[in-house]
Amino acid sequence: MSLVKALQDLPSDAPEVVVEGAFSKEFLKALGFENLEVVPGFKVGTKVVDHAARKNIDDDIFLHTRKNPYLYMEVKGRTWNLGDEKCANYRNALLQLRGYLLHPSSKSVQWGILMNSLHVQLFRKHGKVIHPVTPCIPIDQDINSVVKRLKAIIEAPKKALTVVVYNNKGGVGKTTTTLNLAAALTLRKKRVLVIDFDPNQSDLGDALNLKPLKGKVLDALKNKDINIKDIITPYKFEHPKLPEPWGFDVVLADEKLVNEIDERDIRKHLRIHDLHKALDSVRNDYDYILIDAPPNWRIFAQKAMYASDVVLIPARHDNLHSLQNAGIAITQFIPEVQEEKRKQGEYGPIPLPIFMNNAFKETDHQIHLMHQAIRKIVEDVKQNSNSFNLAPYFYPKAKKGQSIDTSKMISIPHMAFISRADFMHMPAAFAFKTVREQYLNLALEYFLQ
Ligand SMILES: Nc1ncnc2c1ncn2[C@@H]1O[C@H](COP(=O)(O)OP(=O)(O)O)[C@@H](O)[C@H]1O
Ligand SMILES: [Mg+2]
């Protein structure tokens, strides 16, 4: 049976069991998974996901071995509304899929699909991070082109997760976070590329004692005889006690972008997707690409966000603007870029939970003020933008109905070693064990499964 025929045969109110039958099988087949490569009702811990799939490798037949699943598909009936991201139906289905994907037995899974035969959405899993790579696409007469689009993404997986560290307030720890997360991920044997995309400050290069580039970044962005690979500087941390240096790769800031060219000129020559395109040639060389973005919402910040899969937003509990700006990034700037990418047939980025840097050494009263300020930000957003709930972004560890306190937030404490490392021109996480432990925890909290 063809996929189109299977779709036509579905009753308009087909319940889950009916969609799960002939149609799901044809759908997975069209995505490139044959019968022996699909397990219906696949056990994930004590639960069961509707389908798991993986290509067979020689005599490792997935249907028989049921080892190392590659993709999960959660199927719903047609009356289950997946077409509206704000609808409880959609949110519950996504929670369910996330639960399967994050289960310890699902480490090998790289893709998740939500599908009810009227809509379909593809999610990518990278370590602990699950992010949508398509919007929720309507399935209609043109089902073959929908499948083609999903298949193209699944068949060309990219190794790197691209993360932009962003808050349009300065001094909240963007550069510190970028560097020390890079250090922590390096220590967990991940290949990391760091991009200093804040040419006005070039703090990141300075923190590593590396000099800014002159004009080459601009040429690489314009794709002018020079590839981003050609402007990578390896950073090495050497210490007599280390058998070999620790290190990661860096694309340094470009002096020329601030000193010689004005922004109108840059806008004329460069497009919002330049960095995104330029990074495509290195996305398979790294596990993580971390971008340090400038504290504003102008062209470089926009490019950095466009190039990324997820946005990590540091804020400070004692700085009201940084908390408000975190909310603005999530409710305005990120949706703006999502809209731009959607026009190009792409999707993303999505915000990760906000993280509190330099946190909680103040008096209790200060912490009370922070909760109060966050409550107001959350309420204002609820009223102004269609009951969108920001609270889980501030308190990602709070379960439904639980009271909030600082233990429900993700944070890095104030540590004097961090500013001391500025003067030593090296990442604090390499130089000091206590800092290292904090950032390894942060890497586990956000990224490593
Ligand atoms: N958790 C922390 N504890 C102590 N000092 C910190 C911490 N995070 C950042 N800093 C210091 O605060 C200053 C601003 O941080 P930085 O990363 O440069 O902010 P941004 O890049 O957002 O402007 C730096 O001097 C840095 O050393
Ligand atoms: Mg900075």
pLDDT in tens, 282-316: 999 999 999 999 999 988 999 999 999 999 999 99
Query: What was the pLDDT predicted at 387?
Result: 77
* 172 & 147 share domain: no
What is the number of domains present in the chain?
2
pLDDT at 257 > cutoff 80: no
Q: Which two tokens stand for residue 107?
A: 């480490």
* 134 & 191 share domain: no
pLDDT-derived band of residue 105, with 50, 70 and 90 as boundaries? very high
pLDDT at 167 > cutoff 60: yes
Cβ–ligand 1 distance for 170 under 6 Å, the answer: yes
* 254 & 275 share domain: yes
Cβ–ligand 1 distance for 69 under 6 Å, the answer: no
Q: Which two tokens stand for residue 293?
A: 């973005």
The residue segments making up the domain with residue 334 are 161-446
Q: Number of C-alpha atoms within 13 angstroms, CB side, residue 113?
A: 25
* 123 & 165 share domain: no
pLDDT at 259 > cutoff 70: no
Query: Of 106, 123, 154, which marks where a domain is finished?
Result: 154
Alpha carbons 79 and 88: distance in angstroms, whole number: 13
Measured in Å, residue 176 CA sits from the centre of ligand 1 at 5
Residue 73 belongs to domain with CATH number: 3.90.1570.30
pLDDT at 260 > cutoff 60: no
**C-alpha dist (Å) from residue 124 to 206, 395, 412, 419:** 35, 24, 27, 36
Ligand 1 atom closest to Cα of residue 177: 17
pLDDT at 151 > cutoff 90: yes
Cβ–ligand 1 distance for 317 under 6 Å, the answer: no
Cβ–ligand 1 distance for 358 under 6 Å, the answer: yes
Cβ–ligand 1 distance for 180 under 6 Å, the answer: no
- Residue 95 phi/psi, 5-degree rounding, is -60, -40
* 356 & 430 share domain: yes
Alpha carbons 115 and 122: distance in angstroms, whole number: 9
342-357 residue pLDDT tens = 998 889 999 999 999 9
* 369 & 289 share domain: yes
More confident residue, 240 or 185: 185
**Average pLDDT of the residues of the chain:** 92
433-445 residue pLDDT tens = 999 999 999 999 9
Residue 431 belongs to domain with CATH number: 3.40.50.300
Query: Of 154, 184, 200, which marks where a domain is finished?
Result: 154
Alpha carbons 251 and 376: distance in angstroms, whole number: 39
Measured in Å, residue 169 CA sits from the centre of ligand 2 at 10
The average pLDDT across 166-178 equals: 95
Question: Mutate which of 419, 437, 441 to test ligand 1's pocket (most atoms within 8 Å of Cβ)?
Answer: 419
* 290 & 432 share domain: yes
The average pLDDT across 90-110 equals: 96
pLDDT at 174 > cutoff 60: yes
Cβ–ligand 1 distance for 357 under 6 Å, the answer: yes
Query: Of 125, 154, 183, which marks where a domain is finished?
Result: 154
Measured in Å, residue 421 CA sits from the centre of ligand 2 at 15
pLDDT-derived band of residue 364, with 50, 70 and 90 as boundaries? confident
- Is the pTM higher than 0.75? yes
* 243 & 382 share domain: yes
Cβ–ligand 1 distance for 313 under 6 Å, the answer: no
Query: What was the pLDDT predicted at 87?
Result: 86
* 226 & 346 share domain: yes
* 283 & 322 share domain: yes
Cα dihedral 199, 202, 208, 209 sign: positive
* 98 & 187 share domain: no
* 137 & 192 share domain: no
Ligand 1 atom closest to Cα of residue 428: 27
Alpha carbons 116 and 17: distance in angstroms, whole number: 11
The average pLDDT across 186-203 equals: 92
